[in-house]
Amino acid sequence: MYIDSNIFIFAAIDHGKSGQNCREIIRLINEQKITCAASFLVIDEVMWILKKKVGKDDAIKITKAMLSMPIKWIGLDKSVIIRMVEIYELTQLDPRDAIHFSSMKESGLSAIVSEDKDFDNVEGLERISASTCIVRYH
């Protein structure tokens, strides 16, 4: 599965049920009960939001923790961007979400763990919410 940036963001700043579910997903990843991949774009998105919400120092600390997790990190090369433009042209996804989907396809993945409903109803893409992910892997 591919893990979206909002899972890390909610885990860091949401004190409700969504945050709890996202922290549980991170625990399952760290325990290697869930195998996942993510684009390096996730790092950018997480740092950008967390810098605003919790400050630069905490954003850096969280990012370092993410980079130490057993996640397959997907680079952003020209082929990912070319495919992103095609996806953007054919879907309602915004460019950043199209990069995520392109990165997934580049790695042979079809499922994304995300709270972003923009991924719903995209052909060839299954969005799994945090709560559904926890049920599947517990």
**Structural domain boundaries enclosing 89:** 2-137
CATH for 13: 3.40.50.1010
Number of domains, the chain: 1
The pLDDT confidence band at residue 33, using thresholds 50, 70 and 90, is very high
The pLDDT confidence band at residue 135, using thresholds 50, 70 and 90, is confident
Specify the amino acid at residue 113.
Answer: V
pLDDT 10s digits, 41-81: 999 999 999 999 999 999 999 999 999 999 999 999 999 99
Is residue 115 within 8 Å of 129, Cβ to Cβ? yes
pLDDT 10s digits, 77-98: 999 999 999 999 999 999 999 9
The pLDDT confidence band at residue 137, using thresholds 50, 70 and 90, is confident
Long-range contacts of 129-137 (CB under 8 A, 24+ apart): 130/7, 130/10, 130/18, 130/21, 130/22, 130/24, 130/25, 131/17, 131/21, 133/1, 133/21, 133/25, 133/34, 134/21, 134/24, 134/25, 134/28, 137/28, 137/33, 137/34
Say what the pTM is: 0.94
